[in-house]
Amino acid sequence: MVLEVKNVNYAYKSQKGKEILKNVSMQFEEKKFYTIVGASGAGKTTFLSLLAGLDMPVKGTILYDGEDIQEKGLNYHRKHHVSLVFQNYNLIDYLTTEENVRLGGAKKPQALLEKVSIPYEDWKRNVLQLSGGQQQRVAIARALASNAKVLLADEPTGNLDENTAGEIVELLKRTAHELGKCVIVVTHSKYLAAQADEVIMIKDGYCHIGERQTTT
Amino acid sequence: MNSFQMAWRSVIRKPVKSILLFFVVLIISLFFLSGMASRNASIATQNKTKQAVGAGFLMEANEENKRDRADEILAKKTAGEEGNFDGVNVEKIKTEYGTSWSVSYDNSFQTLLIGDMEKIAAVSGISEYNLTTAVTAVNPVDFSRIEDDDVDQSSDLLCVSLIGNKDMALDANVLSGNVTIKDGRMITEEDVDVCVISEELAEKNNLSVGNRIQFNDRRDVENSTVFAAEIVGIYTVQQKMTPVMAGDTFRSENIIFTDLGFPEKAEGSTSGALYEKAYFKVADVNQYDEIKKEIQEVDIGWERYDLIDNNGNIDKMSKNFNDLERVSEILVIVVAGASLIILFLVFIFWMKGRVQEIGILLALGTPKIKIFGQILLEAFLIATAAIFLSFMAAPATSKITASYLVQQQVQQADEQSVLEEGKVAKSAEDSEETVTGVSVVVTPELMLYDWFGVTLLVVISVGAAGILIARKNPKDIFSEIS
């Protein structure tokens, strides 16, 4: 178990203490591909933010390798324990493809770019000149560039067409199963959810571990 | 990638924001340099001009002391006695209503004592001195004076006025720049029986340099001795000298400058000359205060005199320069204040445009201080380039700014002069000289101040705008992006 959530509660300050997550406890393991599903506003992204150390729970703790992530600080947690992939890629717009991957911590980003199938001629180009699918691959390469054991992704296929989304899902699955990382993905996509080893459903502030779904 | 590599790429690859900041800093830096250079130029020129214009002290008889001395003398005399008592004339006047007493002072009673003046002139630091007689009304024997045809002259003395000077160049009217020589020369200490007349008087009487004109005692025009004086110069005035009394005797055109001893002779004085004012010119204006102290320590009967600071020239020049200095200082302060606001807004604009980048870096575990450092480094790189360019452009812009400020000051001084017209007369007067130009130099010291000042403003502005980063947590930033 690499990541553990213990009795976590979360409430938005702007919503007068209304709890969006209630006493959530959950464990995540390496080499597994998790998806978090739920209705809009259920608290999926909030849950992912807490796992990523982008925010702090009102109550409860989040442990990484058995240690409270707040002990070494959330910055440290974000830098060394987790890596993030977003729906809108979130790449630095004035850097090249290669430089964006290097930003994740890779000294030699070429191998990672090959792994995520970015053609060589695009390595030195400004990252915004790539297609959406390619940009998301670069974002994944950047996430893989760090030695973090956990990869967190928020709607990584949300802006992509079906074929490209399929390729990204495969990439994420391989990241979990072949690279041995714990991959946690927030998604609305039933297809993506169906690819997960475990599906976590958030409803009414509670988390339920669901069955692996099949696509229709 | 380290912060410098990131900052450099951001500066080069996002040119719009870089150029915007570049020009803002360039303009700020130029204003700073121009303001500081103008201020320094004004100070430098002020010191130089102070020396050129000069300053001095004016000595006059103390009026209260005259009355006290007269009272003392009169108290000692026997009641009902007429005569001259140590320079105080007492005269019995009989009228149809009874007897009254007239008290007047003769020249010996009123005059500045030449011995005392020479003691002051001997003080080290006094380069030159002048004595000026009282305005003396005398009868013009062989020439006509200027008269106003519309005025009844029956109550006038029908005279002209003489002003004797030891050195005419140091006469108050000359020092002020109001009286200048049109033809011939001024009167010097060695001259005897010479005069300088007005251009109007010369024209009316068809007189020129080298001619002689005659005067005698106005109280006995028929029998008194006639004295002749050679015309050595013809003067012109910028503004008419204010008469010391009413009547055409004392009008500006009828004032005749003479050597120091002539008025006493021409008026037929039996009690010597009446030296009304003495002027002592200071050699080094910067030692003005020290010299004044030394003068005050000279052993003379100080109760008889008033020592007056005669640094009106400096005051006027200083006023112009101080105004220029003040305007320059205000320029620097206003630029500093406005720059801070503008730079703050520019950096707010920067931060707003870079929220996503900041969020990404935070998500990658970059500490806020490092992100702040990168932005500061970017600002520093751009500001340094802009400041360097401003150093090259500063000499030209500083000159333009200083010239503009000088022009404003001169215009203001001219307007002030118009308001003060007609006040020129017998006392120490302001110089007509004003600031007409300054030499502006942008020194390495100024550049250093400018670099330090602008950099400080940039750091403060980035810091103030950076609070925006510090106050937000990464999740808020991502919510903002969404």
Q: Which residues pair with B55 in a beta bridge?
A: B282
Instruction: Check residue B7 and give its pLDDT.
Output: 93
Three-state DSSP at A151 gives strand
Chain B partners within 8 Å of A91 (Cβ): 360
User: What is the mean pLDDT of the segment spanning A93-119?
Assistant: 88
Chain A partners within 8 Å of B356 (Cβ): 90, 93
Q: Residue B430 pLDDT > 80, yes or no?
A: no
Chain A partners within 8 Å of B364 (Cβ): 78-79, 84, 103-104, 146
Residue A55 to residue B473, Cβ atoms within 8 A: yes
Confidence band for B315, pLDDT divided at 50, 70 and 90: low
Q: Residue B434 pLDDT > 50, yes or no?
A: no
User: What is the mean pLDDT of the segment spanning B470-477?
Assistant: 77
Q: Which two tokens stand for residue B120?
A: 């002051």
Confidence band for B432, pLDDT divided at 50, 70 and 90: very low
Residue B474 to residue A93, Cβ atoms within 8 A: no
B365 shares contact with chain A (CB less than 8 Å): yes
Task: Compute the mean pLDDT over every residue in chain A, rounded to the nearest whole number.
Answer: 88
Q: Residue A90 pLDDT > 70, yes or no?
A: yes
Confidence band for B176, pLDDT divided at 50, 70 and 90: confident
Instruction: Check residue B309 and give its pLDDT.
Output: 80
Chain A residue nearest residue B8, CA to CA? A94
Confidence band for B172, pLDDT divided at 50, 70 and 90: confident
Which residue has better confidence, A17 or A21? A21
- B143-161: per-residue pLDDT in tens? 999 998 888 888 888 999 9
Residue B365 to residue A79, Cβ atoms within 8 A: yes
Three-state DSSP at B372 gives helix
Find the CB nearest A90 among B13, B356, B365: B356
CA distance B183 to B458: 63
Find the CB nearest B364 among A46, A95, A103: A103
Find the CB nearest B9 among A79, A86, A94: A94
- Going from the N-terminus, what domains does chain A have, and what CATH number goes with each? 3-210 (3.40.50.300)
CA distance B480 to B457: 29
Burial B329-368 (b: 16+ CB within 10 A, else e): eebbeebbeebbebbbebbeebbeebbbbbbbbbbbbbeb
Chain A partners within 8 Å of B481 (Cβ): 88, 90
Residue A99 to residue B10, Cβ atoms within 8 A: no
Plot region of B95 (φ>0 → left; ψ -120 to 50 → alpha; else → beta)? beta
Confidence band for B426, pLDDT divided at 50, 70 and 90: very low
Nearest-CA distance B369 → chain A (Å): 11
Find the CB nearest A104 among B364, B473, B474: B364
ipTM, 2 dp: 0.88
Q: What is the DSSP string of B266-330?
A: HTT-SS---EEEEEEEES-GGGHHHHHHHHHTS-S-GGGEEEEEE-HHHHHHHHHHHHHHHHHHH
Q: Which two tokens stand for residue B248?
A: 């055409």
Which residue has better confidence, A86 or B328? A86
Confidence band for B316, pLDDT divided at 50, 70 and 90: low
The structural domains of chain B, with segments of one domain joined by +, span 3-54+317-481, 56-310
Instruction: Check residue B54 and give its pLDDT.
Output: 62
Chain B residue nearest residue A74, CA to CA? B365
Q: Residue B261 pLDDT > 80, yes or no?
A: yes
Three-state DSSP at A2 gives coil
Chain A partners within 8 Å of B8 (Cβ): none
Q: What is the DSSP string of B383-407?
A: HHHHHHHHHHHHHHHHHHHHHHHHH
CA distance B288 to B307: 13
Residue B367 to residue A75, Cβ atoms within 8 A: yes
Helices (H), B59-181: 63-76, 107-110, 114-121, 172-175
- Non-local (6+) Cβ contacts of B369 within 8 A are none
- Please, what's the largest Cα pairwise distance for chain A? 52
| A contact set with B (CB within 8 A) | 46, 49, 52, 54-55, 75-80, 84, 86, 88, 90-95, 99, 102-104, 126, 146
Residues A91, A138 contacting (CB under 8 angstroms):
yes
User: What is the mean pLDDT of the segment spanning B422-440?
Assistant: 47
Q: Residue A12 pLDDT > 90, yes or no?
A: no
Q: What is the DSSP string of B412-444?
A: HHHHHHHHTTT--SSS----S-----------H
User: What is the mean pLDDT of the segment spanning B227-237?
Assistant: 96
Confidence band for A215, pLDDT divided at 50, 70 and 90: very low
Q: Count the residues in chain B.
A: 482
- Non-local (6+) Cβ contacts of B105 within 8 A are B66, B70, B87, B88, B89
Residue A54 to residue B363, Cβ atoms within 8 A: yes
- Please give the share of chain B, as a percent, with pLDDT higher than 90: 44
Which residue has better confidence, B244 or A61? A61
Query: Which of residues 216 through 235 in chain B touch A, CB cutoff 8 A?
Result: none
Residues B216, B226 contacting (CB under 8 angstroms):
yes
Phi, psi of B398 (to 5 degrees): -65, -40
Nearest-CA distance B337 → chain A (Å): 33
Of A7-16, A26-35, A68-77, B314-323, which range is least confident?
B314-323
Q: Residue A140 pLDDT > 90, yes or no?
A: no
Q: Which amino acid is at B423?
A: K
Instruction: Check residue B419 and give its pLDDT.
Output: 57
Nearest-CA distance B350 → chain A (Å): 14
Nearest-CA distance B475 → chain A (Å): 5
User: What is the mean pLDDT of the segment spanning B27-54?
Assistant: 72
User: What is the mean pLDDT of the segment spanning B13-23?
Assistant: 91
CA distance B249 to B162: 10
User: What is the mean pLDDT of the segment spanning A91-109?
Assistant: 89
Q: Residue B414 pLDDT > 70, yes or no?
A: no
Nearest to A153 by CA among A123, A125, A117, A195: A195
Nearest-CA distance B349 → chain A (Å): 17
Q: How far is CA B377 from CA B372, B374, B383, in A?
A: 9, 5, 10
| H or E element, residue B194 | strand B194-198
How many of the other CB atoms lie within 10 Å of CB of B27?
A: 16
Torsion of Cα atoms, B471 then B475 then B477 then B482, to 10°: -160
User: What is the mean pLDDT of the segment spanning B32-46?
Assistant: 74
Residue A94 to residue B14, Cβ atoms within 8 A: yes
Mutate to test the interface with B, among A72, A87, A89, A94 (most CBs of B within 10 A): A94
Residue B475 to residue A55, Cβ atoms within 8 A: yes
- A190-207: per-residue pLDDT in tens? 888 888 999 999 988 888
Chain B residue nearest residue A103, CA to CA? B1
B18 shares contact with chain A (CB less than 8 Å): no
Find the CB nearest B474 among A54, A91, A93: A54
Task: Compute the mean pLDDT over every residue in chain B, rounded to the nearest whole number.
Answer: 84
Confidence band for B422, pLDDT divided at 50, 70 and 90: very low
User: What is the mean pLDDT of the segment spanning B395-403?
Assistant: 80
Instruction: Check residue B147 and give its pLDDT.
Output: 92
Q: Residue B46 pLDDT > 70, yes or no?
A: no
Q: How far is CA B435 from CA A135, B310, B409, B430, in A?
A: 67, 20, 8, 14
Q: Residue B427 pLDDT > 50, yes or no?
A: no
Of A95-109, B35-49, B178-192, which range is least confident?
B35-49
Chain B partners within 8 Å of A92 (Cβ): 357, 360-361
Nearest-CA distance B3 → chain A (Å): 11
Q: Which residues pair with B58 in a beta bridge?
A: B279, B308
Instruction: Check residue B51 and give its pLDDT.
Output: 57
User: What is the mean pLDDT of the segment spanning B187-215?
Assistant: 96
Q: Residue B39 pLDDT > 90, yes or no?
A: no
